[in-house]
Amino acid sequence: MPASAPPAGPIASLWRMRRYVRPYVAQLVFMVVAALLGVGAALTVPLIVRRVVDGPLTHGDRGALLPLCALAFALGVVEAGLAFGRRWVQSTSTLGMERDVRDALYAHLQSLEPGFHDRWLSGQLLSRATSDLSAVRRFVGFGLIYLIVNVVTFVAICSVLIHLDVLLGAVVTASLVPIAVLCARFRRQYSTVSRLVQDQTGDLTTTVEEAATGVRVIKAFGRRRFVAAR
């Protein structure tokens, strides 16, 4: 019986990256926690502003205004510090993961028979080893984290709005439906265009690489216009 093919699809492809992400799980957890705490600090500031308007400004109590302003300033500093810490950790963890994947890809390409490199365009290999791996790094460092953070943020905002005003909270929550439909439609269109751009980038890289290595041959046979037209 032949071995079954690995599952296809974007989710299955991302799941195969887990062994490269595993050494950096602690850093990823820190980034998620820092982002969530930063969102919590940002959501608390409007509540403090509400307290300022309903309290000191309404009753003319200037003495109570300074502590609330200091609290809002402290939350802003905390949010900035969390963002700095998250970016600092991200700069090492995601780049380390990309380096590990690139090393594994290079080792695998070195182990293949020479006939494979005759059949596969060199530009496609360069494109996969550079732009594709960079896209994976950006997803792990930004997309995955903000996917979690944005969901939590939306739930928290809707909960706060429902607590403050039921009608306003219901309107904001209902707005998720058309946004989800538009996002699903955009994802389908973007996936098609993104795949086309990947293939065209690989073809362009192949053309440039071959032209750079064979520039003397191209000049010798007078094929400059032909190569430029490609």
**pLDDT, tens digit (0-9, with 9 covering 90-100), for 149-202:** 888 888 888 888 888 788 888 888 888 889 889 988 898 888 888 878 877 877
Whether the pLDDT of residue 34 is over 70: the answer is yes
Quick one: residue 7, left, alpha or beta (phi over 0 = left, psi -120 to 50 = alpha)?
Answer: beta
Cβ proximity of 78 and 41 under 8 Å: yes
Task: Tell me the percentage of the chain whose pLDDT exceeds 90.
Answer: 3
Find the mean pLDDT for residues 216-225: 75
Whether the pLDDT of residue 8 is over 70: the answer is no
**Beta carbons within 8 Å of 203's beta carbon, 6+ residues apart:** 121, 123, 124
pLDDT tens for 133-154 read 777 888 887 788 888 888 888 8
Classify domain 10-169 at the CATH superfamily level: ABC transporter type 1, transmembrane domain (1.20.1560.10)
Map out the domains of the chain as residue ranges: 10-169, 175-230
pLDDT, position 2: 43
pLDDT, position 6: 52
pLDDT, position 77: 92
Cβ proximity of 139 and 194 under 8 Å: no
pLDDT tens for 90-110 read 878 888 888 888 888 888 888
| Model confidence, pTM | 0.67
